[in-house]
Amino acid sequence: MILLLSATLALSGCTVWGEHPISHWQDATGGEGLERSYWEDVKAGQWDDLDRHLAGNYVLFTPEEGRLDREAALAHVRQLRLLDYSLGNFQTELNGGTLVVTYTILMRGSYAGQGVPSAPVRMMTVWQQQKSGWMAITHTVIGPEKTVVGPQSSVRRQSGQHWGSGA
């Protein structure tokens, strides 16, 4: 009996069967998880996977290019080569089947052969719950995160300090 119990305890910590593959989109819980899945696909160049999570009427807004429809937006994001990124300062608002997510991203890489900004950039995405899952309906590049001069003459960021790596 003791031998059986010992063997059971020893094997319970071992991986007898292979690891269960994780599909990051299916495992996303809330706005932060959806954004992390989006940026993981961009970093890995998983364009087909990303494409499945953009609504047919998806629109991207950037300060440089203005409004881009779905096809132009996909062409735009395909020019981004991320080596690393960090997301933080999430704010999420849920209203029915619509989720509005604002956050800050710090990127390392290039866009169309040029270096990406080294300063944090504010972003906003609107996600909608559909039969096939959460779909992005619009994404806005708000622009560089602003700094604020505080009452004690110190410069501080408008956002918190919660940063998670995309590596």
How many beta carbons lie within 10 A of that of residue 85, not counting itself? 21
Q: Please give the pLDDT value at position 149.
A: 53
CA distance linking residue 30 with residue 8, whole number of Å = 37
What is the number of alpha carbons within 13 Å of residue 154 lying toward its C-beta?
A: 4
CATH code of the domain made up of 29-159: 3.10.450.50
Q: Please give the pLDDT value at position 48.
A: 93
Residue-by-residue pLDDT tens, the chain, 167 positions: 444 434 333 433 444 434 333 356 566 568 899 999 999 999 999 999 999 999 999 999 999 899 999 999 999 999 999 999 999 999 999 999 999 999 999 999 999 999 998 899 999 999 999 998 899 999 999 988 776 555 543 333 333 333 344 44
Query: Residues 103, 52: contact at Cβ < 8 Å?
Result: no
Query: Residues 24, 52: contact at Cβ < 8 Å?
Result: no
Q: Please give the pLDDT value at position 92.
A: 95
Rounded to 5 degrees, what are φ and ψ at 35?
A: -65, -40
User: How do the domains of the chain map onto residue ranges?
Assistant: 29-159
Q: Please give the pLDDT value at position 55.
A: 96
